Amino acid sequence: MAWFEARSRILPLLAGLCLLVPLAPAAAILPNPADTVPAQAGQPAQEIDTSSDAGADARIAARIRGIFSELPGLENVVVGARAGVVTLSGTVSETGASARAEAIAARVSGVVTVRNEIERKVSVNDGLDGLTKLKAKVDAVVSMLPLLGAAAALALAVAALGYLIAAPAGVWQRLARNSFLAELIASAIRFVFIVGGLVIALDMLGASALLGAVLGGAGVIGIALGFAMRDTIENYVASLMLSLRQPFRPNDHVVIDSHEGRVIRLTSRATILMTMDGNHLRIPNSAVFKAVILNYTRNPQRQFTFELGVDADDDPTEATRVGVEVLRGLPYVLKEPEPTGRVDQVGDSNIVLRFLAWIDQRETDFYKARSRAIPAVKDALEEAGFALPEPIYRLRFDAGFPLLPQGQGEQASEKPPVAPPRRRRADAGTASDTRPENEVARMVDQERSTPAGEKDLLDPSRPVE
């Protein structure tokens, strides 16, 4: 009985010990939260190795000291390590050296954390160190001066060669057959040689990458300037095309859109006209290139027209014949092409006749010939019995409109107005001078004979389109 009672007391005690034994290793396996390195932003938490090595801290400190000794500005940093915690102390002269040293130390294997106690040293010696560095840079530049001089001399020689090739303007004038295009070719040659000299010089200095950056920036700037100076570039291209096409000659009488005058010269920017009243008119070449150009000088023969109206009861065919016979008899009207007449329209109170005749502008002034021909035909029609009626208006009087008193209209009609005697103009159209007016043409010739600051691009040797 005593043994049975002892066993009943021992068994529960053994059972409790069996439950406690597995819990002890489990608690030992679980990590201590204090032993976990806090996670940095964007990085997972790093667990600290529980195994310790007596020489680990010394190796860490030696490794960091070796790295710092190879980096300028960090040679005065003091490194200490204990239990994986690295302590940095000492002084640095540069502003960002402290943060750089901390970042380098944190990357070494086995470092748990870094305690940064580095101070920046600001003293006169540090300023002298900066001057020493500046002196070193100046010495480096001075040592490169011979190479810089050789590169600059070579670039100037290449550019001078380009100017020498582009100098003989007569050669390019004969090749291009156009002064403006020859000047453009010479400018392109000079530009190519200048850029080539710069490329060779930068290649000698080992700065080819700089040239690529400069050319790339120049390309971007060129695109921006192209959009900003679109009108200027368009005007320049129009000047080139006009110098090649030659739509007119000096002193030609032209009408460009609504602008009329005689051509003085064509420059690289504008076409200069002298208006018929003697004023200078500058039209941008971009507008001239796109404009409708009427040239009166290219064909010496020119037709003038005018209209006359005869009574609706008259024979328009006979009136036309009479007018054409008068035009044939005028000395300044050309016999070929011969003058003609036609019925233009039938109005309310008359029939409108249109007469057409040709003159030679080299011998006859257009406006003088027309102003002489109109009264000559008018007098001939009136002498032949044709009436040139005035406009007739039909009046309607509504009911209630006050009329003239009885007999007042008869008294007024008894004294009709007496028409003045008609003056005879038998020699109309023949007696006056019809020679061309050359005042504006003479002023243009005088203007062209005076040296001008802008070069004339009109070439009389080129054909006119």
**Which CATH number covers residue 95?**
3.30.1340.30
pLDDT computed for residue 427 by the predictor: 56
pTM score, two decimals? 0.54
DSSP β-ladder status, 113-116 and 85-92: parallel
- Inform me whether the pLDDT recorded for 222 exceeds 70: yes
Please give the residue that has the higher pLDDT: either 189 or 321: 321
- Count of domains for the chain: 4
Backbone angles phi, psi at 414, to 5 degrees: -70, -20
> Is 329 inside a domain boundary?
yes
User: Are residues 310 and 385 in contact, defined by beta-carbon separation less than 8 angstroms?
Assistant: no
User: Are residues 281 and 273 in contact, defined by beta-carbon separation less than 8 angstroms?
Assistant: yes
- Ordered strands of the 270-274 beta sheet: 280-284, 270-274, 259-266, 253-256, 293-295
pLDDT computed for residue 51 by the predictor: 63
CA atoms of 369 and 357, how far apart (whole Å): 10
What is the mean pLDDT of the segment spanning 225-232? 71
pLDDT computed for residue 224 by the predictor: 74
> Is 134 inside a domain boundary?
no
Q: Based on the fold, state whether residues 307 and 387 are members of the same structural domain.
A: yes
> Is 437 inside a domain boundary?
no
> Is 19 inside a domain boundary?
no
Domain-ending residue, one of 66, 101, 120? 120
pLDDT computed for residue 29 by the predictor: 38
> Is 12 inside a domain boundary?
no
What is the mean pLDDT of the segment spanning 329-342? 93
Question: Which residues fall within 8 angstroms of residue 381, CB to CB, at 6 or more apart?
Answer: 308, 310, 319, 322, 323, 388
User: Are residues 296 and 362 in contact, defined by beta-carbon separation less than 8 angstroms?
Assistant: no
* Domain of residue 108, residue span: 53-120
- Inform me whether the pLDDT recorded for 180 exceeds 90: no
Lowest-confidence pick of 9-18, 85-94, 139-148, 315-324: 9-18
What is the mean pLDDT of the segment spanning 103-128? 79
Amino acid in the structure at residue 229: M
Instruction: Return left, alpha or beta for 253; rule: phi > 0 is left, psi -120 to 50 is alpha, else beta.
Output: beta
- Inform me whether the pLDDT recorded for 89 exceeds 70: yes
Q: Based on the fold, state whether residues 91 and 162 are members of the same structural domain.
A: no
Whether the upstream peptide bond of residue 337 has omega within 30° of 0, thus cis, is yes
> Is 144 inside a domain boundary?
no
CA atoms of 203 and 212, how far apart (whole Å): 11
Lowest-confidence pick of 78-82, 141-145, 250-254, 398-402: 398-402
CA atoms of 176 and 411, how far apart (whole Å): 88
Q: Based on the fold, state whether residues 79 and 157 are members of the same structural domain.
A: no
- Inform me whether the pLDDT recorded for 231 exceeds 70: yes
> Is 268 inside a domain boundary?
yes
Q: Which candidate, 145, 185, 132, 190, places its Cα nearest to that of 164?
A: 190
